[in-house]
Amino acid sequence: MEAYCLKCKGPREIVDPVEKILKNGRAATQGLCVSCGEKVFRIGKAS
């Protein structure tokens, strides 16, 4: 699964994805960027 990294300025693969539930009940995925190690976030379930 990929997410947009703000530090790298492009889509990157998510390392150690964790599924979260937002306050409004939607699913989201959070993890780390492969290149720089920054936190990345994507709305939607991890597949």
Tell me how many domains the chain contains: 1
The first and second tokens of residue 44, run together, are 């939607």
Residue 40: phi and psi, rounded to 5, are -120, 155
Q: What is the pLDDT of residue 5?
A: 93
Average pLDDT, integer, range 20-26: 95
| CA-closest candidate to residue 2, choices 41, 39, 37 | 41
| pLDDT tens-place string over residues 24-44 | 999 999 999 999 999 999 998
Q: Which domain holds residue 29?
A: 2-43
- Virtual CA dihedral for 11, 15, 20, 26, nearest 10 degrees? 30
